[in-house]
Amino acid sequence: GYAGFIPCITDTAGMTFIPSVNKAMKEFDRRQLLERNPPYTLGTRFPLTHWPDTKIYSRAGLIPTYTGHVPHLQDTHGLTFGDGTRESYRCEQRRRGRAL
């Protein structure tokens, strides 16, 4: 069976799995709706939130401890990690340029 995290499942003691998951997900949806649209803020404007830049590629290369996938890195031989990631960045930019 599923062994992952289910939000709001702590309030469903004594129920079988499927009904408790359904109840927990309804409660989670309700909480998310209230968190995004609080009843006391009707008609007020909120400031735009700042979303940080999610790009993992940059001209400076990747962080030295990065262990994720780097496209085109398998095609670069004899380079250090920093130089290889910078070269992969250039390859990725060329690929994206051709795609447009």
Residue-by-residue DSSP string for 73-97: GGG--S--HHHHHHHHHHHHHHHHH
Domain count, the chain: 2
Q: How far is CA 48 from CA 31, 33, 42, 88, in A?
A: 21, 18, 17, 34
> Is the domain of 57 the same as that of 100?
yes
Residue 1 lies in a domain: no
Residue 25 lies in a domain: yes
> Is the domain of 57 the same as that of 81?
yes
> Is the domain of 36 the same as that of 71?
no
According to the model, what pLDDT value does residue 51 have?
Answer: 53
> Is the domain of 37 the same as that of 55?
no
pLDDT digit string (tens) for 53-90? Answer: 555 556 666 667 777 788 788 888 888 888 888 888 88
pLDDT digit string (tens) for 5-23? Answer: 888 888 778 888 889 988 9
**What is the domain extent for residue 73?**
51-100
